[in-house]
């Protein structure tokens, strides 16, 4: 418990640094320059100290020949030097009282060589004896919009509920870039690389306890300490959803076993056990990960299973109903009053007034039909959520569609979920997400994520009741 | 534990069926009533204690596949058959004083599998699923990281595709889920308490009158440090 508390305090200080040193910052436009550009881009308000063996100044900032020469304290050091130079610099950082160091440099354990392994061990030794925490090596480090620190220029300045852990820096960066389109904003994101010190389990502990983080996502390639990871996962999942995308689960590399149990125990099976016992949500692939982060960010923690579907295209209405059943959700039974209301404006032919409600092609021309139908469905007490699959004939109609659905969602207080019809304006799709309405590419993805979010909260509630007894 | 120490001292990495089941039994996992015999006199005495019908199996830690080696005789109904079966099995094994297990024959149509594997990352993991000769073909199994509690074990039973096999089907009694969950919890406990155990295989577990009994088992130990 004391150890957990200490870890949280350490990480909190590193995630909110008052000063950052960039050691090995290049003078010209090289990859390392991105780390400075990222800080400037997010308007980092603390002191930035470039460290360079020769330069007096880089991009208008006074440069220092070594970390030792920097006059004030340094909270965070970003280390970009070649790997044979890293160890003395890490030692100097520790002596300076740096709280955390990001090791961008690669060429350690991941190379599989004895030398790489030994160098990495030496780094761990410095960290453990000094109390300075290390990220990486072979990582991009931290993105904390609230603090103005980032690992790449071009990421959002706005904070949000998602805490993200990644074994790939580039994947964290790509996710960060598309996130605002989906209404996903971060409390923090961290690229962990080889995890010589700070591990994914440490980050689960930190983010699980972080009041600003409401959802945790992770892209994982390997787990360093299984029992610690499972314990941290259990604790974090009790408080907030943890969405895990784990790679490396195919049977290749599985060794020959002596028993049935050994032969059947695939990495996939063991991982499924970890996910279930840890109370986590398992996803596979980038699209599903982003869908899930969007769903958990935007949908509430108390969503029901009675779904109403409102669609213009008949085939998509039927497909949505099918996906609803596949995901264990229910088609809401509409009240007589709702059906009577609908019959007042929905054309009589080529439509359906029972759920899924098919308003037909005319609705794309007369947007009022979509809007009034959405209001009627949202007003029905037997409906927990409204899925809308619609599109107008032109930009103007689509704008009206977007604003009206957002308004209906806000007035009713019920979750709305919008499904794309190809050709719909992408900026309006983003407008939905910004307004707290998840926008999905397909009806199957929409139903799947809605059901995923619901399952997590139902399960958590059930667990809380069991243990509360 | 003596059985494990003995095997290690003999530089063995597998325990025989008899040894494996002794360990299971020490953890209150229900096993078949059985005796290990090397001669006809002890065979008859064991048979009379257990009562017919019996199953006779050649027992040797080095022989993993008793069926393939034709070392199992089931439905042995009297003394004459027992002696024939005993001699026949011994003749197929190396040495005339080879050990044979004499065990009660469990009658039941439903076969389950349970086991343990020590994962290099997560430590001992418990397996549960559909057992019998088609275990690998159906691949209907689920895992948990040890230790587990009763609730985890009950969840495992609900996770396999063939979970309805545990219900009252075709005139058979429903499996005793509490007893089965206890069995799974115990397997995890064995894994947690015995670092030397690498794998446990209990296949089949037969459901007889609702109760689960371990009918065959094998324990694999960690390979000695190379």
Q: What is the mean pLDDT of residues A419-436?
A: 96
Domain boundary among B104, B132, B165: B104
Does B39 fall in a domain?
Answer: yes
Indicate the pLDDT class of residue A253, thresholds 50, 70 and 90.
Answer: very low
Is residue B217 located within the same domain as residue B122?
Answer: yes
Is residue B141 located within the same domain as residue B61?
Answer: no
Residue ranges with strand state E in chain B: 14-15, 34-37, 54-58, 72-76, 100-104, 110-119, 123-130, 141-145, 197-208, 211-214, 217-221
Does B226 fall in a domain?
Answer: no
What's the CA gap between B140 and B31, in Å, rounded?
A: 23
What's the CA gap between B71 and B57, in Å, rounded?
A: 6
What's the CA gap between B41 and B36, in Å, rounded?
A: 12
Q: Between chains, do B201 and A277 touch, taking CB under 8 Å as contact?
A: no
Is residue B115 located within the same domain as residue B202?
Answer: yes
Residue B20's CATH number: 3.30.470.20
Is residue B170 located within the same domain as residue B181?
Answer: yes
Does B211 fall in a domain?
Answer: yes
Q: What is the pLDDT of residues A273-323, one digit of tens each?
A: 999 999 999 999 999 999 999 999 999 898 999 999 999 999 999 999 999
Is residue B86 located within the same domain as residue B134?
Answer: no
Closest approach of A222 to chain B, Cα-based (Å): 9
What's the CA gap between B14 and B61, in Å, rounded?
A: 6
Q: What is the mean pLDDT of residues B25-46?
A: 96
Is residue B127 located within the same domain as residue B17?
Answer: yes
Nearest to B145 among A258, A273, A466 (CB): A273
Is residue B89 located within the same domain as residue B153?
Answer: no
In total, how many domains does chain B have? 2
Nearest to B115 among A223, A260, A276 (CB): A260
Q: Between chains, do B200 and A269 touch, taking CB under 8 Å as contact?
A: no
Residue B78's CATH number: 3.30.1490.20
Does B41 fall in a domain?
Answer: yes
What's the CA gap between A247 and B110, in Å, rounded?
A: 36
Q: Between chains, do A264 and B155 touch, taking CB under 8 Å as contact?
A: no
Is residue B15 located within the same domain as residue B56?
Answer: no
The reported pLDDT for the residue numbered A380 is: 98
Closest approach of A224 to chain B, Cα-based (Å): 7
Does B201 fall in a domain?
Answer: yes
> Is pLDDT above 90 for A381?
yes
Q: What is the mean pLDDT of residues B35-39?
A: 94
Residues A63 and A52 sit within 8 Å (Cβ to Cβ): yes
Does B69 fall in a domain?
Answer: yes
The reported pLDDT for the residue numbered B226 is: 39
Helices (H), A220-334: 226-239, 260-264, 267-278, 286-298, 314-326
Q: What is the pLDDT of residues A333-364, one digit of tens each?
A: 999 999 999 999 988 888 888 999 999 888 88
C-alpha torsion sign, points B130, B134, B135, B141: negative
Using a CB–CB cutoff of 8 Å, tell me whether B223 touches chain A: no
| Residue A319 to residues A231, A339, A349, A446, B212, Cα–Cα distance (Å) | 40, 21, 20, 12, 45
> Is pLDDT above 80 for A252?
no
Does B157 fall in a domain?
Answer: yes
B contacts of A262 (beta carbons < 8 Å): 117, 199, 201, 220
Q: What is the pLDDT of residues A133-152, one digit of tens each?
A: 999 999 999 999 999 999 99
B contacts of A261 (beta carbons < 8 Å): 113, 115-117, 127, 199-201
What's the CA gap between A425 and A163, in Å, rounded?
A: 29
Q: What is the mean pLDDT of residues B189-196?
A: 96
The reported pLDDT for the residue numbered B185 is: 98
Nearest to A264 among B13, B141, B218 (CB): B141
Chain B residue at shortest CA distance from A263: B136
Q: What is the β-pairing status of strands B217-221 and B197-208?
A: antiparallel
Size of interface A-B (CB pairs under 8 A): 84
| Residue B129 to residues A75, A192, B110, B159, B186, Cα–Cα distance (Å) | 53, 37, 11, 9, 16
| Burial class of residue B134, CB neighbours in 10 A (0-12, 13-18, 19+) | exposed
Residues A326 and A447 sit within 8 Å (Cβ to Cβ): yes
Q: Provide the domain limits for residue B80.
A: 34-104
Does B170 fall in a domain?
Answer: yes
Q: What is the mean pLDDT of residues A445-458?
A: 97
Using a CB–CB cutoff of 8 Å, tell me whether B204 touches chain A: no
> Is pLDDT above 60 for A42?
yes
Is residue B96 located within the same domain as residue B128?
Answer: no
Domain boundary among B78, B104, B130: B104
Who's near B190: CB < 8 A, 6+ residues apart? B23, B24, B27, B116, B197, B200
Using a CB–CB cutoff of 8 Å, tell me whether A275 touches chain B: no
Percentage of residues in chain B having pLDDT higher than 90 = 83
Is residue B115 located within the same domain as residue B198?
Answer: yes
Indicate the pLDDT class of residue A173, thresholds 50, 70 and 90.
Answer: very high
Indicate the pLDDT class of residue B66, thresholds 50, 70 and 90.
Answer: confident
Chain A residue at shortest CA distance from B219: A259
Q: What is the mean pLDDT of residues A101-113?
A: 89
Using a CB–CB cutoff of 8 Å, tell me whether B143 touches chain A: yes
pLDDT, mean over chain B: 93
Q: What is the mean pLDDT of residues A244-271?
A: 76
Query: The complex's ipTM?
Result: 0.90
Using a CB–CB cutoff of 8 Å, tell me whether A277 touches chain B: yes
Q: Between chains, do B151 and A258 touch, taking CB under 8 Å as contact?
A: no
Is residue B43 located within the same domain as residue B76?
Answer: yes
Using a CB–CB cutoff of 8 Å, tell me whether A269 touches chain B: yes
| Burial class of residue B57, CB neighbours in 10 A (0-12, 13-18, 19+) | buried
What's the CA gap between A376 and A414, in Å, rounded?
A: 12
Which pairs with CB-CB distance under 8 Å and at least 24 residues apart come from B163-169? B165/B110, B165/B112, B165/B130, B166/B110, B166/B207
Q: Which domains does chain A have, with CATH numbers?
A: 2-141 (3.40.50.720), 154-298 (3.40.50.261), 306-456 (3.40.50.261)
The reported pLDDT for the residue numbered A39 is: 97
Is residue B112 located within the same domain as residue B163?
Answer: yes
Domain boundary among B104, B123, B155: B104
Q: What is the pLDDT of residues B72-103, one digit of tens each?
A: 999 999 999 999 999 999 988 876 678 999 99
């Amino acid at each position: 418990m004391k150890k957990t508390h200490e870890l949280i305090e350490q990480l909190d200080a590193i995630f909110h640094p008052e000063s950052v040193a960039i050691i090995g910052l290049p003078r010209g436009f090289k990859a390392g320059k991105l780390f400075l550009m990222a800080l400037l881009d997010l308007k980092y308000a603390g002191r930035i100290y470039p460290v360079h063996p020769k330069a007096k100044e880089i991009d208008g900032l006074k440069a220092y020949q070594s970390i030792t020469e920097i006059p004030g304290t340094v909270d965070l050091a970003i280390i970009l030097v070649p790997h044979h130079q890293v160890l003395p610099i890490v030692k100097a950082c520790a002596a300076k009282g740096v709280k955390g160091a990001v090791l961008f440099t690669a060429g350690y354990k991941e190379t599989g060589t004895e030398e790489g392994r030994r160098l990495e061990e030496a780094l761990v030794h410095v960290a453990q004896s000094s109390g300075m925490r290390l990220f990486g090596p072979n990582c991009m480090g931290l993105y904390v919009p609230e603090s103005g620190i980032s690992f790449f220029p071009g990421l959002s300045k706005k904070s949000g509920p998602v805490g993200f852990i990644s074994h790939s820096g580039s994947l964290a960066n790509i996710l960060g870039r598309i996130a605002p389109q989906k209404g996903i904003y971060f409390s923090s994101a961290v690229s962990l690389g080889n995890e010589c010190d700070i591990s994914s389990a440490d980050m689960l502990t930190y983010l699980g306890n972080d009041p600003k983080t409401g959802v945790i996502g992770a892209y994982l390639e390997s787990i360093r300490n299984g029992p610690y990871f499972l314990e941290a996962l259990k604790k974090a999942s009790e408080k907030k959803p943890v969405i895990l995308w784990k790679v490396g689960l195919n049977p290749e590399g599985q060794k020959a076993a002596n028993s049935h149990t050994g032969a059947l125990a695939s990495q996939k099976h063991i991982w499924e056990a970890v996910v279930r016992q840890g109370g986590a949500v398992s996803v596979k692939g980038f699209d599903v990960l982003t869908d899930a982060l969007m769903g958990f960010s935007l949908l509430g923690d108390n969503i029901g299973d009675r779904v109403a579907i409102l669609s213009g295209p008949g085939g998509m209405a039927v497909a949505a109903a099918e996906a609803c059943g596949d995901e264990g959700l229910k088609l809401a039974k509409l009240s007589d009053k709702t059906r009577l209301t609908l019959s007042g404006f929905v054309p009589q032919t080529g439509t359906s007034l029972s759920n899924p409600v098919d308003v037909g092609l005319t609705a794309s021309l007369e947007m009022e039909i979509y809007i009034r139908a959405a209001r009627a469905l949202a007003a029905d007490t037997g409906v927990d959520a409204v899925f809308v699959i619609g599109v107008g004939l032109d930009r103007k109609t689509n704008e009206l569609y977007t604003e009206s659905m957002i308004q209906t969602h806000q007035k009713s207080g019920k979750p709305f979920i919008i499904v794309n019809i190809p050709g719909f304006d992408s900026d309006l799709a983003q407008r939905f997400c910004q307004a707290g309405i998840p926008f999905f590419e397909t009806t199957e993805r929409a139903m799947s994520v809605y059901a995923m979010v619901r399952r997590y909260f139902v399960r958590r509630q059930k667990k809380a009741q069991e243990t509360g007894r | 534990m003596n059985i494990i120490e003995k095997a290690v001292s003999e530089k063995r990495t597998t325990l025989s069926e008899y040894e494996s089941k002794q360990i299971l039994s020490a953890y209150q996992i229900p096993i078949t009533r059985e005796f290990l015999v090397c001669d006809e006199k002890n065979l008859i005495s064991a048979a009379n204690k257990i009562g017919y019908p019996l199953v006779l199996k050649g027992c040797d830690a080095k022989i993993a596949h008793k069926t393939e080696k034709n070392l199992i005789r089931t439905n042995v109904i009297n003394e004459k058959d027992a002696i024939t079966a005993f001699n026949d099995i011994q003749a197929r094994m190396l040495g005339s004083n080879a050990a044979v297990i004499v065990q009660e024959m469990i009658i039941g149509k439903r076969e389950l599998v349970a086991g343990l594997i020590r994962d290099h990352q997560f430590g001992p993991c418990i397996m549960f699923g559909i057992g019998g000769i088609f275990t690998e073909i159906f691949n209907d199994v689920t895992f948990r990281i040890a230790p587990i509690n009763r609730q985890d074990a009950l969840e495992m039973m609900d996770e396999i595709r063939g979970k309805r096999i545990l219900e009252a089907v075709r005139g058979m009694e429903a499996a005793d889920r509490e007893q089965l969950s206890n069995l799974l919890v115990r397997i995890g406990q064995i894994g947690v308490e015995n670092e030397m155990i690498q794998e446990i295989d209990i296949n089949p577990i037969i459901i007889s009158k609702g109760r689960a009994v371990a009918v065959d088992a094998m324990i694999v130990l960690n390979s000695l440090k190379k």
